[in-house]
Structure 1
Amino acid sequence: MVVRREETGKKTKRVQLAANRGKKWILVSLAGLIWIQPVVLPELFGGSASTIHAAASQATRLGEEIVTSGAKLVKYRYTTTRSGKQVNVLADVVEVDLSNPYVQLDVMTGKGGQLTTRQAVEGMAKETGAVAGVNGDFFATGGQGVPMGAAVSKGTLVTSPAQLTGMFAFGVKSDNTPVIDRYGFSGTILAEDGSTFPLAGINQESYTTEPEKAYSHVNKMFIYTSAWKSEDRPKGSGTTPTEVLVQGGVVQQISSQSAIPGPVPADGYILRAHGLAADYISAHLAVGQRVETTYQLVSQTSGQEINPSDFKMMIGGHTLLVDQGKASSFTRSTTSISGGSSVARTAVGYSQDGKKAYIITAEKNSDSPGMTLKELQSFMTSIGVWKGLNLDGGGSTTMVTRPLAETEAELTFTTSNGSAGQRAVANGLGVFTIAPQGTLKGLRVSGASTLLIGQTVSFTLKGYDNYYNPIDTSGVQATWKSSNGNVAWTGSGFKGVKAGTAKITAVSGEAKSSMDVTVLGGSDLDGLTPVTTFAPLEAGATVSVPVTAKLKNGRTVEVPNEAVKWVFSGMKASVQNGVLTVQSINNGAKVAYATPKYDGFSGTPIVLSSSEEQVWESFENASYPVSFTGLPAEAKGTAAIVQGTGERSNSKVLQLDYDLTGGTGNKFGYAQINGTAGKAIPEGATSMAIDVLGDSSLNWLRAEFAGADGKSVYVDLARPLDFTGWKTLTIDLTASGLKHPAKLKRLYVVNLEDGQDERALTGSVSFDNIRFTAPATGGNAALDTGLPSAKVIMTAGQKSMTVNGQKQNMDVAPLIKDGTTYIPIKYVVDAFGGEAAWNKTAGKITVTRGTSVLELTVGKKEFILNGATKKAEVSPIIDNNRTLVPLRLVSEQLGISVNWEKKTKSITLES
């Protein structure tokens, strides 16, 4: 870190000019080292558990793992009662030994250690080399990304605390003593003529003060350092600034009633003033004169002035949660942070003797329901927290920890954002190792803990030193073996052979390390779904057929190609390297199916049918709105349907003009179709063709679709856009994972930050004649697929039916239960065409008819139609060892009309 000190009386001021912490790599020679067995922790996730009682709730210690010397991850299950029901919450705690000389805490700030940038906790940890970390202070989500509280890093005050009531901060002093207190800010500027003016803060964005409800920057003077990246100091303050550039303690520039262009230089700072403060500058400062600044933090509980350099670190938070080992009163309203709701939480505290810091998270995900603030207080006191405060929570709650022998920290648990990933936050609290290079202490097998039948997974042997930091093991030669035949060593990895658990072991001399792996079987699956839903039925046609499996624990995994077996109906086909090739079509077949299977579990079939290219939009008579949007906000442009030029002068086109010169980072220019709603594309579309007038900008050209599952799917049209003139682009949609029914929402230009100087920031592209290739039947109708027409009459309670007037016997009768009629689906598909497959293990019925694929599960109201999840009023049932399905649900989804005669209890089905 480069800093500049200015001695002013008894106060020392340090302005942060630049801060970069590099990653620490530990490499040692293994020659002559004595191998030592890996450390075995008695409560290592799944070992013996201890229970800590707290009033009506209890915290059960599930296990622990060392992160580095002086820090360990401890996992808990917190059990409490809500509305008379017992609930279990998962909590994760990083315990830090503040007396250990090889570990320390520090603040992680945004990207590159700068304010007004945001970054996910995992990204900050990787950038700074932290071995563990959580999200930190609260920040205005609509603001510039600046923490509300004080932030100190290595004695440097990065941000001063905002003037808000009841906001606490956590810090570690130079003597490693932890402190939690409320802080204010006090500072003064001293001009060369001896006059002074108070400073209001350092590196703060605009806000409303409390309790005065005043505008923060009116009539005030602030300092901005190079830790502040944005050129807006601050944004949206509602005031006109006067700014002063100070370098080397000397005024270099004064800009009256306007900001000094550009960022704050690394070797100086900027005084930002308004109103009375600006008048002071006009009267007392001049270019070439010296100026001095002093500032300090002020304890709001004791009134004591505190030099920031007396702290190793400090991070702001919200309300006090624990004091003197007991739940404290909230020091600030918790309404805005959903205090009474069960959400993900983050907190920090310390022990009574001051030797241990606790970094705490409560999980909110599919495995854990989150905590209220009162529950968080109870949990914190139960694990030994003497004093603690609340950090930012909810969607911000994120913890990363470095597994033993690994080089980087990774997510400790799934955040409440789920598939949306980690939230970018203003800052974080990081744990760092400062241990020297050590000697080898132990080995650890590293690799996936689960694999699929037929899948080969590589495992590596990693080591850690006597400080529990990673150590190079590239020179270690090991022999690998398995405890049973569930997995087999291939020479480069272990291959799943059959479902079950195995222990794999690496042995090198007298040292060895083991881990348990599970080969997943069909009984572990809750779904097996190809990414592709529809495909064209043409000899020679090829289509990508990646498959995903949903496990019963809710996790989704990609299934390796070699782990999937395929069953074909209506055609001869093959699948090689994840690509299905249609070899020939059975005589008379207009529809064919490709069904993935895994260990006896049947997945959702791919429907192949005759296809045709449909003109989706020519822009000649478009009646919906088209508009431009850009990211970042400075991106400008227009999108409109206009008369074409040149060879397209007689037709209309969609023209997208973009100017991406403003803003920073990745930039986007969007042509939005039909507002934010988008426009529906043909059901089951397998490819898209579009005419594009290129501009050789070397930007990317993309399309954004919205699937039936609510997820956006992004498809590259041109990457890069390296042509001029009109060109027809054809894009395969089968591997996109797009769930139908779907919509096309946007066509857009992408200008990436990486290599931005090589691509044009301004340009114009046009689009015309958008076509989709889709099943000729529209994706879910039974028309023109060779299915028979029929009239079937059944009667509830009778084991016979008539098909086109001919009587047939059934081995089970239709059933009326709770007002719903249930029928054996086998007899419906026999009469109207199609197939019905029963998976006993999963309790699932898969019905295929025409181009419709319907999946029903016994006891579940949710069903899947052509890859889209829907919900019915009732679910399939089992009666007398026979599976019956709701009549109306099946018939309506398969294109069969139903008539119910109440008096005779007869059911008439027609197609």
Structure 2
Amino acid sequence: PEDVDWSFGALNYLVKDGKENIISSQVLGTNPRTAIGFNKDDSEIIMVTIDGRHKDYVGAKQTELAKIMIDLGAYNAVNMDGGGSTTMGVDFLRNANVTVVNIPSDGRERKIASGVGVFNNYPDSDKVDKIEIVASQNSIFNKTETNLELKLFNDYYIPIDVDQNNIDFIVSPADAGKVVNNVFIPEKSGKATITAIAGNAEGNIEINVLDNPVALELNTDSLTLGFNNKYELGQVLGIDKDGNSAYIPWKYIDYSYRNRVGTVENGVFISSDISNTGAVTLTFGDAVKHIQVKVGYRYKTLNQFETLDNLKLTLYPEESSGDISITKDFVKEGNNSLKLNYDFTKMTDQSIAFVEFGNDGEGIKLEDKPLAIGMWVYGDSKNHWLRTRINDAYGTQVKIDFEEEVNWTGWKWVEAKIPEGIAYPITLKNIYLAEINETRKDAGTIYIDNLRIMYEPKDKQLGLRDETTFEDEMKTSAITNYSEKLTVSQGKYKYEGTDDIIYFEGVISNGTMSASNTTMWNNIKSFMDYEDKILILAMNGDIDNINDEREIRVLKDILEKASQSNNVFVVYKGENESTVVENKVRYISYDDNFEIGTTSGKILYKN
């Protein structure tokens, strides 16, 4: 037809006149998808790709894709060639170098016959027509700050650069705060509207300024570290008296220390060089948070190698040469050390010299929960591999490195860290020198002295002041005289009442709430359809266990939209009881069971 400017081929109508189109069941498979749609007045084009056939992304059915297109504002939409053909590229720098922004399921771009491209053929214009303001946080505490990112566009929605000195800011009310170098610094609690002006264009954003926090939260309450180690503490979450929360930049946090355990620099804890037990105390206003810290180790000597009792040498291959003996040639501590002569010149696939513990190599069962194994080693600079083997409580063998290469001459202290999460008690089977590189077929000698087992330092009474806590007005010690009640315990649910409490399960597996579990996701999305209800999402773990930040954001967006018309609770079994309110959504961990009910018109919960 003469009135067609451009056209493209598609496989199915997904959306027609604002409604889902009837799609044949023959094409409902879950796959990578490509779709194009237009809004009702054809003023916007919506282009979508959905990844699939990937360990983290399964794809979508065409029926699901239709719902997505409608949610994005499509009045009419079609399904394009998907599968391995699903590809989206963006020329970010506008220099004809296109970057693929999705994950093609073939592992690379597929050669295809046709595609759809959007190109800018509008005239150049440096006149600012639209301004968008994006805040690093839309809720902040008074006397802190939030960064403001400005996005400026011309009349054709093309991003343009503008000298920041040519942008003016107005804060309303006038005494709510000020903007300095694109940073908003509030001066009182309440709502603050920030307007950015460039020429005749302006944009604005509303910031919710919270009053003083009553409690501070971190991802960790305790640390056990070696000497001079660094640990990123993450973000500090402040919680006000009503349960509203916002992150507080580290520059506004005050620190104090109990005992010499280390220092905090911009959110990074750096442990000291002495063994000690103490604490770091964080404060902001009247809010107080302690981090218990243990630095270094408590040592227990396992073998000073004064005799060969309960030691024997095992060689691989068996025809290899080597021996162990007690010597005074080189001694670090005590009267003697262990001398290990090895000969790797007959190596085939590998050569190993094992120093076995126990009369028959059964090993030594270690007390309590050691964190590491350490010893002095006099090296010969022949770059062989120094390791140990331990067995966990179930007899599973674990190999741990002391050093990947013995690349030194003289005495050196070496440590093998016990892996986190191992099942105690553990048994030390042996220490050994190994080589797998055939270019290093040689013989030599190393000396070993004072084998020690390393435990965390003992607890101390630190005499710390009490931490401040958030006391939720909805939390109670018991729910009685209720008209409706839900109990969650060990994955089971007991519901009593009418229909004001709505609850669904959320399951995290291998770091994701699988998109293939459409029933679960449809249930969660249905939260947005309710009004004046108590909505419970019962999880099998903290949502921070989800690996993909985008997945967490999608989940939180759904919950926060639902919280505009409902009371929303996300609950899971944790090690301790805790409640955090974020954008009106309560995230609650319970230690035994969770109960929620309505009593005399009030919502109460017990965790």
The alignment's TM-score, normalised by the length of structure 1, stands at 0.31
More strand by share: 1
User: TM-score, length-normalised on structure 2?
Assistant: 0.43
